[in-house]
Structure 1
């Protein structure tokens, strides 16, 4: 049986469509279709059921993928890593939101990059959940930290940690609002305070208002900057209120640079997921990075 045909088959099985598999393999869709038909003729059995939105493996297809995928992954690992010590290091391509990746993930992985004999090179890139998951699907990334849980058989996703959100501002705004109004359960107590956000749609503020006040913010953002660390800097400078992750703002809160404007009994949470393409965690360097991040996340957020 041709290993190239098996590789195409496993990629289609993981991608869930000929189109996505073709992008991952760098082939045309007709070439992928032809290879799958050739393999089906050799086996004398259909491997996939064609549907409007992709393909679903038959029982024989599922069995073949279960048997073949680990061995193909091992062969790819050997081929890409090489057999000598000098080429034994692999490169891990990680992607995620800039703040969380920089503050949490990269420090946790930095120790693995220096492990003699088992280390790997690390390349990090930033983007939205949609952008990074598309990159993972296309093979540009190995691991993705995402605030959205992906669906489908192409990915495997594990909850990494929950991020608590805090409504905060510089002390002068807290004084202006007053402690009684800040303890109010109504959002109008905060009307008139400028809003700092990462996007014009006010994603964090809107989520907080919906969860805590069961309402929507009434005003637009005054300062829009696409980095939560910059949002925090603007809040410290007194530009207005912001909703930020507690891990990112904890030091500023302890110093008194900013104060929490509201302390709900149940604070809003956002879950991060650690995502890989299905089957790729059989590769040792990906498995080690995945395990390190999952263990480190126990102490996060």
Structure 2
């Protein structure tokens, strides 16, 4: 699709694919990261940016050893480009409704909705929600992307994600809208044969234990690590994984403890592979439903947000 962009005294037609590549590169900070986010070859990203710079008649990025940084012109273009892409999304939604493909015209809602969430939710609650949506809205393609908070926030800003579901006490970003839809209980767990299994344990007993927790950027894991390392004389042994499965497997093998959302270990507790440790209070972690404040929230995204809210509220 082509859009008209007023560049000083000239008007040129710019392919919106180039604008999407530009916005993604500006947010990602490198050609490699942008290519990965867009599922394009790095050479294609390079061609898109060079073409856009040629059409607009100005460099948009400074190429630095550490990555790419928007020039002054690039920084000014970024917000405008995001608004253009948002307008294109609105036009497509309006066209779908007018042609009888949208909900307002009595047809089934269709399109793609990208949802980002942390590993714990991707492995527990979200697959069931997406399965339900596929039954009730078969023409709605819901994509689930595993992402930590920083990656999800960046995805919302670049348009790679429509919705993020985050386990965070709060989301304090001026360009994002966050709504708390639930609280996720946490549990300390260990293998059934662990000395602390099924009994009360205070911080003094946990201070020298081995903990296998989620990677840095996970709010509840970060809080646990800070607390353990702040205990007087404590020498906690902490291993961090990008996968909850890895942490859970180490704990099930009797190597130590972990702190995870209870929903992610419920089956393992039922099967007797893990057991609860009655440790210090671990407040439930809020579940935040997040979207971009300015970007068009398409009918399909609204349906997904409503189903997520319903599912988490009912859990």
Shift of 1:170: 0.8
Contact 2:117 2:146 in 1 (8 A): yes
Contact 1:92 1:122 in 2 (8 A): yes
Of 276, 284, 290, the residue aligned with 1:269 is 284
Unaligned 5+ runs, structure 2: 6-19, 27-51, 61-71, 102-106
Q: Following superposition of structure 1 onto structure 2, how do residues 1-301 of structure 1 map, counting pairs within 5 Å? A: 23=23, 30=73, 33=76, 74-79=90-95, 83=99, 85=101, 89-115=110-136, 119-148=139-168, 149-174=170-195, 177=196, 182-185=199-202, 187-199=203-215, 204=220, 207-208=223-224, 215=231, 218-221=235-238, 223-264=239-280, 266-280=281-295, 282-300=297-315
SS at match of 2:210: coil
TM-score using structure 1 length: 0.65
RMSD over aligned Cα atoms: 4.3
Which structure shows the higher strand fraction? Answer: 2
Shift of 1:296: 0.4
CA distance in 2 between counterparts of 1:213 and 1:32 reads 41
Shift of 1:109: 2.4
Shift of 1:210: 6.3
CA distance in 2 between counterparts of 1:159 and 1:228 reads 23
Contact 1:74 1:283 in 2 (8 A): yes
CA distance in 1 between counterparts of 2:134 and 2:75 reads 36
Assess, with a 3 A threshold, how the Cα gap between structure 1 residues 91 and 202 changes in structure 2: closer, same or farther.
closer
Q: Deviations over 1:104-127 (max 9, x none)?
A: 1232122323446x7311222212
SS at match of 1:130: helix
SS at match of 2:194: helix
Unaligned 5+ runs, structure 1: 6-19, 38-64
Assess, with a 3 A threshold, how the Cα gap between structure 1 residues 73 and 198 changes in structure 2: closer, same or farther.
closer
Q: Deviations over 1:148-186 (max 9, x none)?
A: 443344221111321222112112213xx487xx5353x
Q: Which has the higher contact order (CA 8 A, sep 6+)?
A: 1
Which structure shows the higher helix fraction? Answer: 1
Q: Deviations over 1:235-256 (max 9, x none)?
A: 1121211111111112222333
CA distance in 1 between counterparts of 2:192 and 2:213 reads 18
Matched length: 248
CA distance in 2 between counterparts of 1:211 and 1:164 reads 18
Q: Deviations over 1:246-284 (max 9, x none)?
A: 1111222233322222254x5322112111112556421
SS at match of 2:183: strand
Contact 1:81 1:90 in 2 (8 A): no
TM-score using structure 2 length: 0.63
